[in-house]
């Protein structure tokens, strides 16, 4: 077990981009370079998004004789050259494998070859490993399989963020840190929908929020180890500039209100923020949403607290998250089909109490006002108002 190692990585939730939601199994070397360029050009890198992660399907269908992973023909320059390109852009480089015999798309993976692959990753300049749960597990339980890779990563001469993608099946928030994990998926895959039918693949944004409200995982969450409600779907959908590389399982793009809710809640949850769209066709709305400094400050707050629900009655929800400066972020979410006022009081949310006055700042508009305790926001359907509240 590796729970006594220094934990300098991921002191705040990792921010970056991952190829899966936009490019699925069609990803190429050129797509990754274009994503790195776009992170720089859009200002997303300077806003804090630093990891560029190649998800499934980067590897050839055969390993070499010793069992090493080899890049597919879609990565003709090799992974070290790609890592160099990403590093030269002022970014960090990530790869994907699985704690089984195969990846989810049937490519060779790392179970039983953890040390060999960790050495490859370190030699190539990998800074982040997303480690999935597909393939034959050969009778080994999840903790054992993930600990094997955690130990292998800790034995190589490179600091590598370890992203456990076990879908929350075995409550990884209970053991993720102990196997060297820096983040662990708490949910099934997020798809670019508000709600998914129970019998179809994946979770919509509203489904994922229900899941995060229901599981008892917030206590495990904090600097060095984060619950992960999956990568962002902002920007995805059939009418959102994705004609070349249509994402999996999408019917329509999330509306602006739904996208605001998606981003506000991932920040309130202090979730890892891995962008999942084709950044070369990012809309102005999405770029402004994803670089909102007030929201990113809530996500990256040094206390690292996961926001939790204070009230969920019918269509009105209030969630809050304590912040390092003694204030709190408070989210007002409307699940219904009509605009409504949602109200609460400072005594009912996770803010330092007892002050006579509180300063309130609307994180979308920047508008500021004072209150002696009442908080009320008008919220459009499926939208979320989010404020920062500070005792005076």
Which residues bind to ligand GLA, rule: CB under 6 A? 20, 55-56, 103-105, 132, 165, 189
Q: Which is nearer to ligand GLA, 20 or 85 (CB)?
A: 20
| Lookup: tokens for 9 | 């990585």
Ranges of H-type helices in the chain:
20-23, 29-41, 44-47, 79-88, 114-124, 142-155, 205-214, 256-268, 284-290, 293-299
Q: Which is nearer to ligand GLA, 184 or 194 (CB)?
A: 184
- Which residues form the catalytic set? 132, 189
Q: d(Cα 378, Cα 385) in Å, to the nearest integer?
A: 8
CB of 312 to ligand GLA, least distance (A): 27
Q: Which is nearer to ligand GLA, 276 or 304 (CB)?
A: 276
Q: Which is nearer to ligand GLA, 162 or 332 (CB)?
A: 162
CB of 331 to ligand GLA, least distance (A): 25
Q: Which is nearer to ligand GLA, 27 or 206 (CB)?
A: 27
Distance of CA 144 to the CA centre of its chain: 24
| Lookup: tokens for 105 | 């798309």
CB of 223 to ligand GLA, least distance (A): 24
CB of 55 to ligand GLA, least distance (A): 5
Q: What is the radius of gyration, based on Cα positions, of the chain? A: 21
In the sheet that 273-275 helps form, which strands lie side by side, from edge to edge? 226-228, 183-185, 161-164, 128-132, 92-98, 51-53, 15-18, 273-275
CB of 167 to ligand GLA, least distance (A): 6
In the sheet that 384-391 helps form, which strands lie side by side, from edge to edge? 308-313, 316-322, 328-334, 384-391, 358-362, 368-371
Q: d(Cα 383, Cα 283) in Å, to the nearest integer?
A: 19
Residue 351 contacts by C-beta under 8 Å, 6 or more apart in sequence?
Answer: 320, 322, 326, 327, 328, 330, 358, 389, 391
Residue 1 contacts by C-beta under 8 Å, 6 or more apart in sequence?
Answer: 147, 178, 179
- Chain position whose Cβ is nearest to ligand GLA: 104
CB of 132 to ligand GLA, least distance (A): 5
Q: d(Cα 54, Cα 74) in Å, to the nearest integer?
A: 12
Q: d(Cα 212, Cα 209) in Å, to the nearest integer?
A: 5
Q: Which is nearer to ligand GLA, 271 or 389 (CB)?
A: 271
Q: d(Cα 197, Cα 238) in Å, to the nearest integer?
A: 18
């Amino acid at each position: 077990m590796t729970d006594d190692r220094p934990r300098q990585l991921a002191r705040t939730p990792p921010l970056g981009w991952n190829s899966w939601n936009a490019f699925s199994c069609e990803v190429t070397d050129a797509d990754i370079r274009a994503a790195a360029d776009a992170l720089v050009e859009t200002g997303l890198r300077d806003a804090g998004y630093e990891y560029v992660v190649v998800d499934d399907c980067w590897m050839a269908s055969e390993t070499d004789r010793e069992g090493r992973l080899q890049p597919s023909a879609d990565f003709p320059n090799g992974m070290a050259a790609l890592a160099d390109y990403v590093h030269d852009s002022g970014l960090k480089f990530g790869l994907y494998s699985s704690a089984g015999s195969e990846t989810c798309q049937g490519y060779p993976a790392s179970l039983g070859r953890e040390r060999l692959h960790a050495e490859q990753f370190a030699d190539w300049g990998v800074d982040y490993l997303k480690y999935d749960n597909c393939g034959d597990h050969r009778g080994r339980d999840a903790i054992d399989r993930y600990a094997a890779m955690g130990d292998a990563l800790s034995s190589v001469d490179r600091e590598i963020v370890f992203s456990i993608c076990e879908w929350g099946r075995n409550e990884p928030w209970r053991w993720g840190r102990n196997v060297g994990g820096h983040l662990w998926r708490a949910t099934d895959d997020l798809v670019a929908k508000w709600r998914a039918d129970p019998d179809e693949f994946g979770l919509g944004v509203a489904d994922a929020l229900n899941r995060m409200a229901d599981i008892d995982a917030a206590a495990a969450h904090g600097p060095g180890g984060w619950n992960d409600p999956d990568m962002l779907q902002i920007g995805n959908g059939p009418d959102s500039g994705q004609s070349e590389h249509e994402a999996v399982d999408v019917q329509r793009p999330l509306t602006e209100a739904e996208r605001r809710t998606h981003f506000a809640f991932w920040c309130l949850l202090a979730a890892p923020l891995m962008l999942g769209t084709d950044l070369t066709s990012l809309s102005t709305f999405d770029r402004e949403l994803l670089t909102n400094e007030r929201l990113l400050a809530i996500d990256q707050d040094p206390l690292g607290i996961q926001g939790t629900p204070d009230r969920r009655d019918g269509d009105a929800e209030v969630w809050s998250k304590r912040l390092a400066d003694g204030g709190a972020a408070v989210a007002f979410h409307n699940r219904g089909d009509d605009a409504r006022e949602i109200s609460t009081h400072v005594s009912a949310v996770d803010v330092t109490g007892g002050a006579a006055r509180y300063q309130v700042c609307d994180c979308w508009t920047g508008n500021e006002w004072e209150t002696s305790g009442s908080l009320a926001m008008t919220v459009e359907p499926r939208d979320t108002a989010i404020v920062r509240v500070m005792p005076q």
